[in-house]
């Protein structure tokens, strides 16, 4: 290695922050980098005996990112549930005209993605970082101030001390401390909805199928899990969500059975319920001198399509590639003109996704009088093979995976 390594500070040890750190620490410029991950909170522990309520529907693009890190095999060996079909409907009849049936076989793919726990992904990525000689993960490291200086950025820590680097990557969530400290603007819309999340046992098998029912109050999704249960993400008006969160299991299951339209038979048991408020946000500027926002710090979308994490992982892949390209070209990786390449590549796609998911949520919350019009639209998509296949390829991230494939390259000697 020639010269002093370029130091990269990553704020946030969620999946996106750990992913960008792992990509940089093991990538083609690893011998020129030092990567420091900072987070105030401890990592959640993944447990074999219980399942994390927080799960993600990972696309093929996200899968390939983990494959390039050499981590996907471990994810699959631990606990990852493929879903091969997805059925989308409105109204009380899942077989009514206009219901959409997506099948991976139609596009020659083995599945439409995998359902994976947050804590498992973070454990695997943290291990990847721990095994990299040029990376550190500091827990309990709360960023209290950020100073951008000529040629460097300094993260001052709340417990004392500081970390200096060439670039600060903020992946510290939708309430990003770094975004606030850098005074980057934010556009935010609150849906007045809350997502209720739990895992349910059912009398019917899920058959590796994800279900989504659109209702006026918000969408209800069932995602297949490896143990035969299904993960539930139920978006509700906040008052209704709070009532069901406070209800006993029997009352909650009765409401959920009614809303499920019987797609999994009878729901007989549920795990502890958790919730999170729903909002859409977007930072008009992802970058400033020596710093960049990624993942939820830059954008959040409605969970109805399960794409939030996939968008964040594409951010991670893109900004890592931009930094590596800059180092290969002898450029300063923290220069604003370099970081804006990442913003230009990702901002348009993220805005398009945000607008699409926001529009879908608004459409299905309109008066029941427009239900026949929505049914006609769903029927048109169902009848058009090319449109339906294009939607599946887009959801899988196949176009994005192809674009980034060669840029997710391992360090020399690790290929």
Q: What is the rounded radius of gyration, in angstroms, for the C-alpha atoms of the chain?
A: 22
* Residuewise pLDDT in 10s, the chain (415 residues): 457 899 999 999 999 999 999 999 999 999 999 999 999 999 999 999 999 999 999 999 999 999 999 999 999 999 999 999 999 888 888 888 778 888 999 889 999 999 999 999 999 999 999 999 999 999 999 999 999 999 999 999 999 999 999 999 999 999 999 999 999 999 999 989 999 999 999 999 999 999 999 888 889 999 999 999 999 999 999 999 999 999 999 999 999 999 999 999 999 999 999 999 999 999 999 999 999 999 999 999 988 777 899 999 999 999 999 999 999 999 999 999 999 999 999 999 899 888 887 777 666 665 565 555 555 555 554 544 565 677 767 777 766 655 554 455 444 444 4
Element (H, E) at 181: helix 177-181
**Residue whose pair of structure tokens reads 């290929």 in the numeric block:** 415
Give backbone dihedrals phi and psi of 409, rounded to 5 degrees, phi first: -100, 140
How many Å apart are CA 126 and CA 339, to the nearest integer?
25
CA distance 387 to 381: 6
What domains sit in the chain, N to C, each tagged with a CATH number? Answer: 6-188+279-407 (3.50.50.60)
pLDDT for the residue numbered 362: 66
Residue 379: per-residue pLDDT: 52
The Cα 60–Cα 112 span in angstroms is 8
Instruction: Please report the pLDDT score of residue 200 as a whole number.
Output: 98
Four-CA torsion 242, 246, 251, 253, nearest 10 degrees: 70
Cα 54 to Cα 365: distance, rounded to the nearest angstrom: 25
pLDDT computed for residue 377 by the predictor: 52
What whole-number distance in Å separates Cα of residue 5 and Cα of residue 29?
Answer: 10
What are the E-state strand segments in 208-344?
209-214, 220-224, 230-237, 267-270, 274-282, 287-288, 291-293, 299-300
Read off the pTM.
0.91
């Amino acid at each position: 290695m020639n010269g002093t390594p370029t130091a990269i500070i990553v704020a946030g040890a969620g999946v996106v922050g750990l992913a960008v750190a792992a990509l940089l620490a093991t990538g083609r410029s690893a011998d020129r980098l030092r990567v420091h991950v900072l987070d105030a909170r401890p990592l959640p522990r993944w447990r074999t005996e219980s399942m994390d309520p927080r799960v993600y529907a990972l696309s093929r693009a996200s899968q390939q990112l983990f494959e390039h890190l050499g981590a996907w095999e471990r994810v699959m060996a631990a606990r990852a549930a493929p879903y091969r079909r997805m059925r989308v409907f409105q109204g009380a009849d899942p077989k009514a005209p206009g219901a959409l049936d997506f099948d991976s076989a139609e596009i020659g793919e083995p599945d439409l993605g995998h359902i994976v726990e947050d804590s498992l992904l973070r454990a695997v990525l943290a291990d990847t970082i721990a095994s990299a000689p040029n990376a550190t993960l500091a827990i309990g490291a709360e960023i209290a101030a950020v100073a951008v200086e000529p040629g460097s950025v300094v993260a001052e820590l709340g417990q004392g001390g500081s970390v200096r680097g060439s670039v600060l990557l903020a992946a510290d969530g939708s309430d990003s401390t770094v975004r606030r400290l850098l005074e980057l603007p934010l556009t935010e819309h609150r849906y007045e909805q809350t997502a209720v999340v739990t895992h349910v046992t059912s009398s019917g098998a899920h058959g590796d199928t994800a279900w989504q029912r659109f209702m006026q109050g918000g969408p209800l999704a069932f995602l297949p899990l490896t143990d035969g249960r299904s993960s539930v993400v139920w978006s509700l008006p906040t008052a209704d969500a709070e009532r069901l969160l406070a209800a006993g299991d029997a009352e909650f299951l009765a409401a959920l059975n009614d809303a499920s339209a019987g797609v999994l038979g009878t729901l007989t048991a549920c795990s502890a319920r958790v919730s999170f408020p729903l909002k859409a946000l977007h930072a008009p500027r992802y970058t400033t001198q020596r710093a960049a926002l990624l993942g939820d710090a830059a954008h959040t979308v409605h969970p109805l399509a399960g794409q939030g994490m996939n968008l964040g992982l594409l951010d991670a892949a893109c900004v890592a590639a931009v930094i590596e390209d800059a180092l290969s070209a002898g450029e300063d990786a923290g220069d604003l003109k370099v970081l804006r390449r990442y913003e230009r590549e990702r901002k348009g796609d993220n805005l398009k996704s945000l607008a699409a998911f926001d529009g879908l949520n608004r459409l299905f919350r309109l008066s029941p009088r427009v239900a026949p019009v929505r049914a006609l639209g769903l029927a048109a998509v169902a009848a058009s093979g090319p449109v339906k296949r294009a939607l599946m390829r887009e959801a899988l991230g196949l176009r994005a995976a192809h674009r980034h494939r060669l840029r997710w390259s391992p360090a020399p000697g690790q290929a």
